[in-house]
Amino acid sequence: MLDFGGGAAYLTLSIAFTMTYHSSSRSKTERNSGGLSSLSLDDLRSNPRELARQVAFTRREFLRSAAGVTLGSTLLSSGLLARTGIPQKKRKVVVITFGGGARDQETFAPEGQENIPHLMRELIPQSTFFTQVVNRGILGHYVATASLATGVYETINNFASLPPEHPTAFEYFRKDLKRPSSDAWVVAPSNGFNRIGESSHRSYGPGLGARVILPKHLLTAATLGGGADYEHLLRDNYETPFYTPELGGGEFALQQLEMLLKLSVDDFKKHARTLSSPDELSVYITRQLMRQLAPSLLWITMHDIDIAHAGAYSLYIEGIRRTDRLCAELWKTIQAEPEYAGNTTVFILPDFGRDSDDDSGGNGFQHHRTGDALSRTTWMMAMGAGVREGVVIDRALESTDLVPSIGSMLGFSAALAQGKAIAELA
């Protein structure tokens, strides 16, 4: 069914090759617990939910054998964060999106584990790991990140400079808890993410969102447009590699640098010269942000892995290895910073996966265009304050469940989110 040899393959190819600028927000579907499927590959292809369950099961088995984690269940008691005794005002949440999506065969599968040594050996054993997080929305990075941040499958144009249409976690957090703008920040990889911090929703929106810091925009402003020493840090968007949205406000960016981050332009430039990728620049800025402002809700979007769109497998693998290392470095920073140590919950998750080798409508690792079950079925790890260590949960979650879960931890209500708070974390 999925081969090339006649059979009107052009029909599925044509829809796969048209980029997904808009998305559907399908109705909530019944959620099943994980389990081994005995279906054939053809059955699995025609039954995405079954394939998602199979992916989750396999992922769990990989982790059980390699990282020594155990299978959890919904019977695990909830309210763990409350029981830690950490006052609500002191609680912090850091969300890290894992770099533009990576597939199991390059990460959790036995042949891929060499690419994520830090996740496997250091982070997963300390985390509750959710093996089946399904993204039913559009598989474009900006709109998918916006969906993660709002808890609603957003339908905005992936490549337009538009705010999400539904309130973001940052807006719920600040409005419900009356927090200042300095308490919610986003560190975003692309100039196209400059409006991710607050929605266009009339009950929330302007003035209630997160402040967004764009490290590349900062670097461009600091170096007056780049220069040979910095070009490798300024790549903007791998889905549309020829197109970089222009942003004004260079002066404001430099003010952010000096007044908020306490970084001189010279020091910033000097340090940037030692970095090898845009995500390293983001992590550097994130550390500075944590030290200087210690926001309670911090969101970092990694993006290096998305170099896969250029079709060079070696660069995709390099991106995975780098992201693995950077996640571990951020975790160490969180444990070392007095404002964060002991009171911070960290979420690490991809916004979605990448196309499977089995779907002839795609081109394997290169893209995330087919909308197949593998590209929609991702994972999430939660670690730190209020989270059990070394547990694997393989019932199905949706990526829209993240915001309500953060809400239950920090004490705000994600009233307009489609997702539900994750019982094991709430």
Partner 1 sequence: MPLIELKPEQFSGYPPEARKLVTNDLAALQRLPLSFLPSLLREVIDYDFKFPAERKALERELSNLGSLSAEQTKNWFRGFAQIRLSPQLEQFDWINAPAQFVEQLSAYLWTTHQLDAFRVAALAYAERLRAAVPPELPPIPRLGITVVGQGVATTEEPLFRKLRPHGVYFRRVQPENGLKLLLDAVGARAKAHPVAHGHWYIDGGQETAHDPALTCISYHALEPARAALSNKIRVELERPGMGPETLRTLLAQMHPADLGLDQRLDGSAAKSGDAVLDRFQIKLLTEGSGTQVFSTTFAQWAAREALRRAQPLTLLVRFAPRQRQKPMNEMLSGIDGRAELDPMGALIDADIGAYYNWLNQQRLPGAEQSSFLVWFEKHGDAVAIGPSMPRGTESTMAGDLQTLLSWMA
Can you give the binding site for partner 1, defined by CB under 8 A? 1-12, 14-15, 17-26, 46, 111, 138, 155, 159-160, 231-232, 234-235, 239-243, 307, 309-315, 317, 357, 360, 363-367, 371
Least distance in Å: CB of 11 to partner 1?
A: 4
Taking each helix axis as running N to C, give the angle between helix 278-292 and helix 313-336, from 0 to 180 degrees, rounded to the nearest 10: 10
Query: Using an 8 Å Cβ cutoff, are 98 and 350 in contact?
Result: yes
For partner 1, the closer of residues 239 and 324 by Cβ is 239
Closer by beta carbon to partner 1, 19 or else 82: 19
**Strand, helix or coil for residue 179:** coil
Q: Is the CB of 17 or the CB of 57 nearer to partner 1?
A: 17
**Least distance (Å) between residue 47 CB and partner 1:** 11
Helix (H) or strand (E) holding 380: strand 377-384
The DSSP secondary-structure symbol of 27 reads P
Q: In this complex, which beta carbon is closest to partner 1, that of residue 146 or of residue 409? A: 146
Query: Scanning the structure block, which residue is given the tokens 């640098």?
Result: 257
Q: Which pair of structure tokens corresponds to residue 49? A: 């939910």
CA atoms lying within 13 Å on the CB side of residue 116: 28
Collapsed DSSP state (helix, strand, coil) of residue 89: helix
Residue 246 Cβ vs partner 1, minimum distance, rounded to whole Å:
10
Closest CA to 376 of 17, 26, 36: 26
Read out DSSP for 242-286?
T-------HHHHHHIIIIIS---HHHHHHHHTT--SHHHHHHHHH
Answer yes or no: are the C-beta atoms of 401 and 420 closer than 8 Å.
Answer: yes
Q: Which is nearer to partner 1, 11 or 36 (CB)?
A: 11
State the minimum distance, in angstroms, from the CB of residue 186 to partner 1: 22
CA distance 182 to 260: 9
Residue 74: how many CB atoms within 10 A of its CB? 11
Element at 93 (helix H, strand E): strand 92-97
Question: What is the spatial distance between Cα 186 and Cα 340, in angstroms, rounded to a whole number?
Answer: 17
| Closest CB to partner 1 among residues 243, 252 | 243
Query: Considering beta carbons, is residue 144 or 393 the nearer one to partner 1?
Result: 144
CB of 392 to partner 1, least distance (A): 27
Complex with partner 1: residue 60 or 303, whichever CB lies closer: 303
Give 53 or 91: the residue with its C-beta nearer to partner 1.
53
Minimum CB–partner distance for residue 227 and partner 1 (Å): 11
State the nearest-atom distance from the C-beta of 107 to partner 1, in Å: 15
From the CB of 275, what's the least distance to partner 1, in Å?
Answer: 14
For the bound state, the minimum distance from the C-beta of residue 284 to partner 1, rounded and expressed in Å, comes to 18
DSSP string, 337-379: STTTTTTEEEEEE-S-----TT-TTS-GGG---S--HHHHEEE
